[in-house]
Amino acid sequence: MEHDTANRLRAIFQAAIAAADPAVCLAPHLPPPGKGRNIVIGAGKAAAAMAAALEAAWPQRQAAIEGVVVTRYGHGVPTRKIEVLQAAHPVPDAASEAAARKIMAAVRGLGPEDQVIALISGGASALLALPAPGVTLEDKILVNKALLASGAPIATMNRIRRQLSGIKGGKLAAACAPARLVTLAISDVPGDDPAVIGSGPTWVEGADYRLIATPMLALRAAAQASGMTVRILGDALEGEAAEVGRGMAGLALAESGPVLLLSGGETTVTIGAEKPGRGGRNMEFLLSMAIALGGAKNAYALAGDSDGIDGTEDAAGAMIGPDTLERARELGLDPVGSLAAHDSYSFFKSLGDLIVTGPTLTNVNDIRAVMIL
């Protein structure tokens, strides 16, 4: 793949992520201090970065803060006043339950002059694993594993998770009463529904719920950085990753260019009874798209998860270009077989076309950039 085109695609992806950096987007949405205690709680892949951004902005407000947040292992950052816990994602563990209990304890016994600021981002569902009465952590782990393999949309998964939880679905909001509750959220879900973001632990009707970053914000930043004619296809594309990849190839082949097609949302990968290979939804999308493009000479694409982790792998995503299939054949790789085995990570790793960013400390879902030159 041409070096200049690859760099352009990377820059577009990074512009989308930068727009959702809590250090940039959180401070303008902060509420004034409460008259009493100011408690910060939070959960999600961006929770630690959000806590650090809040601390950086808060000294000017001349009020003490305290609190606790939980993020995914490896996503912690240094903070001064707010404790950062780490737990497992996408399948919860004992640390997820312990963190949920500690956060519930942090808001216990507050009064009407106290204020709670909740920092919620994608990943909060797994990181706040407080079983509902009659449910065990083991039950929740089994259900999460089944949901992740099912190919169900995120809204459906989170609806089921809320039913099994003692903290999601507004239950954390209820625990904060009678204190004032303000939620600052980074959306990673189609439609930006507060009840779906992190399974809505602090969402109730009429809540003070402030979206500080969304998938569309990220896509617009990517469009501005591209310097190209851009078509934003939507920020909520869903469906089976391989099918969406074939559909995107059809759109690309119909374009004369130069144009950049941008989209967000979250595709799914349904795993059957066979043991899958290694991969993520963005890499599977790209592999399917590359096969459907058949080496089209003017089409390039990058797809990646804005949190830096596509599924459970160590890559955010990958890139494809006109030479992807040809280089694969030279290495003895089987694109169709790799797709059938859900082994897209191994395929792109062999080609050297993975996008590796490490944890980005934000999460506005997937970013897909298709460049037709």
68 and 203 assigned to the same domain:
yes
Nearest to 268 by CA among 191, 122, 155: 155
- Domain final residue pick, 213, 245, 277: 213
Which residues form the domain of 238?
A: 3-18+216-372
What number of CA atoms fall less than 13 Å from residue 74's CA on the CB side?
10
Read off the pTM: 0.90
**Average pLDDT score, the chain:** 93
177 and 231 assigned to the same domain:
no
191 and 248 assigned to the same domain:
no
- Taking 70 as the pLDDT cut, the residues of the chain under it are 164, 273
151 and 90 assigned to the same domain:
yes
Percentage, residues of the chain above pLDDT 90: 81
The pLDDT assigned to 3 comes to 82
| Count of the separate structural domains present in the chain | 2
**Beta partners for residue 230, in sequence order:** 260
The pLDDT assigned to 96 comes to 94
The pLDDT assigned to 198 comes to 92
178 and 159 assigned to the same domain:
yes
CATH number at residue 54: 3.40.50.10180
Token pair in block for residue 234: 């939507």
Element containing residue 300 per DSSP (H, E): strand 299-305
- Domain final residue pick, 213, 238, 255: 213
Token pair in block for residue 191: 């439609």
285 and 263 assigned to the same domain:
yes
The burial of 78, by beta-carbon neighbours within 10 Å (0-12 exposed, 13-18 middle, 19 or more buried), is given as exposed
Question: pLDDT tens-digit profile of 66-103?
Answer: 999 999 999 999 999 999 999 999 889 999 999 999 99
- Domain final residue pick, 197, 213, 229: 213
Q: What DSSP assignment string belongs to 94-140?
A: HHHHHHHHHHHHHTTT--TT-EEEEEE-TTHHHH---BPTT--HHHH
Interatomic CA distance for residues 295 and 252, integer angstroms: 12
User: Could you give the 3-state DSSP secondary structure of residue 284?
Assistant: helix
256 and 191 assigned to the same domain:
no
Question: pLDDT tens-digit profile of 356-372?
Answer: 999 999 999 999 999 99
The pLDDT assigned to 39 comes to 98
What are the strands, taking DSSP E only, across 23-65? 38-43
Token pair in block for residue 11: 């820059």
CATH number at residue 10: 3.40.1480.10
**Beta partners for residue 180, in sequence order:** 115
Task: Name residue 171's amino acid.
Answer: K
The pLDDT assigned to 281 comes to 95
The pLDDT assigned to 276 comes to 82
The pLDDT assigned to 312 comes to 78
191 and 243 assigned to the same domain:
no
Strands 366-372 and 259-265: what pairing?
A: antiparallel
71 and 55 assigned to the same domain:
yes
Question: pLDDT tens-digit profile of 191-239?
Answer: 899 999 999 999 999 999 999 999 999 999 999 999 999 999 999 999 9
205 and 321 assigned to the same domain:
no
172 and 223 assigned to the same domain:
no
195 and 303 assigned to the same domain:
no
| Cis amide linkage into residue 258, ω under 30° from 0 | yes
The pLDDT assigned to 352 comes to 97
Interatomic CA distance for residues 36 and 228, integer angstroms: 51
Interatomic CA distance for residues 240 and 150, integer angstroms: 11
Q: Are the beta carbons of 326 and 275 closer than 8 angstroms?
A: no
